[in-house]
C-alpha cells in the first residue's frame, strides 16, 4: 500500500499500521514493539479513522509492551476519546501478537483499561481464526458503571429522552453500557436516539447504547451506538453487557448467541460472580505505512 501523506515532506514521520476487524468493528492497529509513536494518539485516532481522508475505521488501537502481560492495549474512539476496553479489538490484538510472532503463548494475556485479560486462541493453518476472551465479571454497582439510574444494576429503569421514555438496563464491562429491549431492532431510530442517550446526564462518562430483540432464550439480535464512534457493526463489550442484562431481567439464559450487523458472537456467563466469556473471529485486512 502506498504511503498516505498527512504533512509536509520535511516534517513527515513514517508509521506502520495494520487494519483489522472483529465482525466489522474495524480499527487501525499500531504496534509499538518495534516503533515509537511520535504524535498525540487522540489526534492520530481522529485522522486515521476518517473513512474519506484517512485509513478508515471505528478508531485507533495501540499495541504496546507491558510488564504485566504479553502486551498492553490502548484504544481510542473515532472522536479521539480514549476508551477503557474493546471486546472486538482485544481479540484482534491477540491475533496480531500471535500471527506476527510477538508471542506464541496460548492462552495470551493482554493488559487493558479493564485489567489483564486472558484469551484462548483457536488456530487454523498456523494463524489465529477465533478467540475466546475471559472478559472478567460484570460491574453492577450503579456508581461504578457509572450511572445515576438507581439499582445495582439498574434493570428496566425508566429514562426520559426528550419526549420519549425508555426502559434501560445498565451494566459495565469495564466501560458503560445501556441496554434497551425492543420488538424490532431494525425499526428503532438508533441514529437519533443513540447520541441522545450517549450524552444523557444519567451517564456522567457517556455510555454505549444497545437495542436488543430477543429471538429466544439463547438468541438475540442487537444494534449498537458506540460512545465516541456512532453506529458500528459490532461491539464485543456491548454484547457481553446484553448477555448479562438478559440473565438479570429473566429474558435469556446464560449462554447466548448475539447476532450483530457484522456477524455473531457467542456469550457465556456461567454464574453471577463469574467472568463473562466471549468468543468470536478476528481478521487482518491489510497493512501499510502512513506519514504525518
**Does residue 71 sit in the same domain as residue 167?**
no
Residues labelled catalytic: 86, 235
- 169, pLDDT greater than 60: yes
pLDDT in tens, 50-86: 999 999 999 999 999 999 999 999 999 999 999 999 9
The phi and psi torsions of 89 (rounded to 5 degrees) equal -65, -40
Q: What are phi and psi of 147, to 5 degrees?
A: -150, 155
Q: Are residues 15 and 127 in the same domain?
A: yes
- State whether 130 and 185 are in the same domain: no
pLDDT of residue 13: 80
Structurally, the chain folds into a number of domains equal to 2
Q: Is residue 143 part of a domain?
A: no
Residue 218 carries which DSSP code? T
CB neighbour list of residue 20: distance below 8 Å, 6 or more residues apart = 26, 27, 29, 92, 95, 96, 282, 283, 284, 285
Q: Please choose, from the candidates 205, 131, 199, the residue with its C-alpha nearest in 3D space to the C-alpha of residue 172.
A: 205
Proportion of the chain above pLDDT 70, given as a percent: 96
| Per-residue pLDDT reduced to its tens digit, 199-224 | 999 999 999 999 999 999 999 999 99
150 inside domain: no
- Asked whether residue 145 is assigned to any structural domain, the reply reads no
Are 163 and 286 in a shared domain? no
Instruction: Tell me: do 15 and 101 sit in the same domain.
Output: yes
Q: 161 and 70, same structural domain?
A: no
Task: Tell me whether residue 148 is in a domain.
Answer: no
**Residue 82 resides in a domain:** yes
CA atoms of 244 and 254, how far apart (whole Å)? 8
Say if residue 62 is in the same domain as residue 115.
yes
pLDDT in tens, 230-257: 999 999 999 999 999 999 999 999 999 9
Is there a domain that residue 65 lies in?
yes
Same domain, 23 and 91: yes
pLDDT of residue 78: 97
> Which residue range(s) make up the domain with 216?
157-274
Does 125 share its domain with 9? yes
Same domain, 73 and 126: yes
Within a domain: residue 149?
A: no
CATH of the domain at 108: 3.10.310.10
Count of alpha carbons within 13 angstroms of residue 197, beta-carbon side: 33
Within 8 A by CB and 6+ apart from 163, the residues are none
**pLDDT averaged over the chain?**
95
Q: Is residue 142 part of a domain?
A: no
Element (H, E) at 73: strand 71-77
Q: Which residues of 263-292 are buried (b: 16+ CB within 10 A; e: fewer)?
A: bbbbbbbeeeeebbbbbbbbbbeeeeebeb
d(CA 234, CA 213): 15
Residues 121, 162, single domain; the answer is no
Q: Is the pLDDT of residue 153 over 50?
A: yes
The answer to whether residues 189 and 244 belong to one domain is yes
pLDDT of residue 11: 55
Amino acid at each position: 500500500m502506498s504511503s498516505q501523506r498527512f504533512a509536509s515532506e520535511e516534517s513527515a514521520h513514517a508509521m506502520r499500521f495494520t487494519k483489522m476487524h472483529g465482525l466489522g468493528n474495524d480499527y487501525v492497529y499500531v504496534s509499538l514493539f518495534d516503533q515509537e509513536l511520535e504524535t498525540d494518539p487522540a489526534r492520530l485516532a481522529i485522522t486515521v479513522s476518517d473513512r474519506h481522508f484517512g485509513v478508515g475505521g471505528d478508531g485507533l488501537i495501540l499495541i504496546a509492551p507491558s510488564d504485566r502481560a504479553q502486551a498492553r492495549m490502548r484504544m481510542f474512539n473515532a472522536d479521539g476519546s480514549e476508551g477503557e476496553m474493546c471486546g472486538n479489538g482485544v481479540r484482534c490484538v491477540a491475533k496480531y501478537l500471535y500471527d506476527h510472532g510477538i508471542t506464541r503463548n496460548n492462552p495470551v494475556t493482554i493488559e487493558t483499561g479493564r485489567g489483564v485479560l486472558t484469551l484462548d486462541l483457536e488456530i487454523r493453518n498456523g494463524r489465529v481464526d477465533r478467540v475466546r476472551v475471559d472478559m472478567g465479571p460484570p460491574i453492577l454497582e450503579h456508581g461504578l458503571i457509572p450511572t445515576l439510574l438507581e439499582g445495582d444494576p439498574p434493570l428496566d429503569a425508566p429514562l426520559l429522552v426528550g419526549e420519549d421514555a425508555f426502559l434501560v438496563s445498565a451494566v459495565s464491562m469495564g466501560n458503560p453500557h445501556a441496554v434497551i429491549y425492543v420488538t424490532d431492532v431494525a425499526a428503532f431510530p438508533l441514529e437519533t436516539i443513540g447520541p441522545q442517550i450517549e450524552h444523557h446526564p444519567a451517564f456522567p462518562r457517556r455510555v454505549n447504547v444497545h437495542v436488543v430483540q430477543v429471538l429466544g432464550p439463547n438468541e438475540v439480535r442487537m444494534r449498537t451506538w458506540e460512545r465516541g464512534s456512532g453506529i458500528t457493526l459490532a461491539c464485543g463489550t456491548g454484547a457481553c453487557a446484553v448477555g448479562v442484562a438478559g440473565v438479570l431481567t429473566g429474558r435469556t439464559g446464560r449462554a447466548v448467541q448475539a447476532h450483530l450487523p457484522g456477524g455473531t458472537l457467542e456469550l457465556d456467563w456461567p454464574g453471577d460472580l463469574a467472568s463473562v466469556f466471549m468468543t468470536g473471529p478476528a481478521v487482518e485486512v491489510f497493512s501499510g505505512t502512513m506519514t504525518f
